[in-house]
């Protein structure tokens, strides 16, 4: 059970990264904080009076306050059970725009 040859995951296979299934309340709060920061950037560019295609597209995105929890913290996944997986399973999710789901999902 104990000692140098205990049958832990690390001892059996080496490197082990644990990746929780759900995000904690703090991680979800940080997600909301980042979404609001992006909303601020879009609002600032919009307030400057500049018009461009990128701004039109950005204005189409739902704001943090308009998003439902399902869209904030989970994303569509083709292979996951229920076609949803937690947002933090997406590589570089903190630096991507993931706000909407495909229609019907």
Partner 1 sequence: MSATQFFKISLKRSTIGLAPDYRAAARTLGLHRSHQTVYRPADSTTAGLILKLKELVKVENVASIPTSVEINAARKAARGYQVVEKQGAFTKI
Return residues touching partner 1 (CB under 8 A).
Answer: 34, 37-38, 40-42, 44-45, 47-55, 57-58, 92, 94-97
- Give the residue with the Cβ less far from partner 1, 40 or 66: 40
Q: How far is the CB of 12 from partner 1 (least distance, A)?
A: 30
DSSP annotation string for 23-49: --HHHHHHHHHHHHHHHHHHHHHHHTT
- Give the residue with the Cβ less far from partner 1, 83 or 93: 93
Q: How far is the CB of 56 from partner 1 (least distance, A)?
A: 10
Q: Please compute, for residue 100, the number of CA atoms within 13 A of its CA located in the half-sphere on the CB side.
A: 9
- What is the number of residues in the chain? 105
Q: How far is the CB of 61 from partner 1 (least distance, A)?
A: 10
Kind and range of the H or E element at 9? helix 9-13
């Amino acid at each position: 059970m104990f000692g140098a040859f205990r049958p832990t995951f690390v001892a059996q296979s080496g490197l082990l990264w644990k990746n929780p299934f759900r995000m904690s309340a703090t991680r979800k709060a940080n997600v909301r904080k980042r979404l609001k920061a992006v909303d601020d950037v879009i609002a600032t560019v919009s307030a400057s009076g500049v018009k461009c295609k990128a701004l039109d597209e950005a204005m189409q995105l739902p704001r943090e306050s308009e998003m439902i929890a399902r869209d904030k913290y989970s994303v569509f996944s083709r292979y996951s059970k229920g076609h949803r997986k937690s947002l933090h399973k997406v590589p570089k999710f903190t630096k991507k725009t993931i706000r909407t789901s495909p229609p019907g999902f």
